[in-house]
Amino acid sequence: MEREKRPPHYAEFRFYEELNDFLPPERKKRPFPYSFPGGASVKDAIEAMGVPHTEVDLIVVNGESAPFSYNLKEGDRVSVYPVFESFDIANLGLLRENPLRGIPRFVVDVHLGRLARYLRMMGFDTLYEPRYSDEDIAAIAKEDPGRIVLTMDRGLLKRAVITHGYCVRSQKWQEQLREVMLRCDLLDHVKPLSRCLACNGLIAQASKEEIAGSVPPERELSFESLTRCGQCGRVYWKGSHYVKMKKFIGDFLAGFAAGEGGQRGPMGHE
C-alpha cells in the first residue's frame, strides 16, 4: 500500500524551435514538469508528448547529450532540439551516427501525392505510390535509411526503423512544398523537369528511334523538344504544359526568396 502512494517521478522538459508545433499551448517554448513511470526512456517520454523521434536531433539532459535510450531520472532537466537546428553543437553528440549527405531523397505517404509530384517536378528522387501502406513505407525506410519519410502521420514517424523523417504540418500543398524545401535545404538542388512525374525515373533527351510511334505525326514536333523517361518510357515534349511548369518553378523559387508561397500550380485542380 505504501508503495502505491509514492509520488510519480518528475523531470523538467523544454522543447526548442519547431518541435513546439507538436505541443499544447501550455507546454510551448517554456520548461514544464513531466511525470513519468520509473524506467521510461527519454524517447518514450518525448513521443508520449506527441513529438515524433524523427523530428529530434539532439537531447541534452542536465547539460550533456543523451541517447534516445536514456532512462529518465527524478529531477532531470531535459532540452530537446529539432533536426537541423543551427547552433553550436561542436561539443555535443547528435543522435544519429549517419547524418544525411548529398541531395535529399524521399519516400512520401499516400496522403501527400501532390507534394510528391511537385518534388519530382523539382527534380528530387521521390518514391510514392497511392497503394503504399505504412508497412511499405517503413520497409522502404529500413532498406534505404538515407530516404526521408514525408508524412502527416506522427504514428508512422514513431516507428524505430524510420531514422529520417519529417512530419508535414500544412494542409496546403504549396505550403507543404515550401516546408520541405526549407527543412531539407533543397533550394540549391532544384533540377526542374529532370524526373518523370509518373514514375520518378530520370528524363533524358530521346533518340529518334525511341520516339518513333509515340507522338502523333500531325503534331510536327521538333526532335529537340522531346524527352523521354528512362524508366517507364513516357515521352515529354516542351509544349505549353512544359512552359507552364517551368514558369511555376521559376515563380515558386522567386516567391520563396521573397517569403511567399501561394502560387497556383500548373497541374490543375489546385
Residues that bind Zn ion (CB under 5 A): 196, 198-199, 201, 229, 231-232, 234
State the minimum distance, in angstroms, from the CB of residue 139 to Zn ion: 22
State the minimum distance, in angstroms, from the CB of residue 203 to Zn ion: 8
Cell of 158: 514513431
For Zn ion, give the closer residue by CB, 20 or 231: 231
DSSP state of 202: B
C-alpha pair distances (Å), 121 with each of 39, 101, 131, 146, 227: 47, 21, 21, 20, 14
Q: 110, exposed or middle or buried, with CB in 10 Å at 0-12, 13-18, 19+?
A: middle
For Zn ion, give the closer residue by CB, 43 or 195: 195
State the minimum distance, in angstroms, from the CB of residue 197 to Zn ion: 8
Give the pairing type, strands 9-15 and 32-36.
Answer: antiparallel
State the minimum distance, in angstroms, from the CB of residue 128 to Zn ion: 12
State the minimum distance, in angstroms, from the CB of residue 215 to Zn ion: 16
For Zn ion, give the closer residue by CB, 68 or 132: 132
For Zn ion, give the closer residue by CB, 201 or 255: 201
State the minimum distance, in angstroms, from the CB of residue 113 to Zn ion: 16
For the chain, first and last CA: distance in Å?
62
Torsion, Cα 92 96 97 100, to 10 degrees, reads -110
For Zn ion, give the closer residue by CB, 146 or 201: 201
Residues 103, 93: Cα–Cα separation, whole Å: 23
Cell of 25: 499551448
For Zn ion, give the closer residue by CB, 81 or 118: 118
How many CB atoms neighbour CB 88 within 10 A? 6
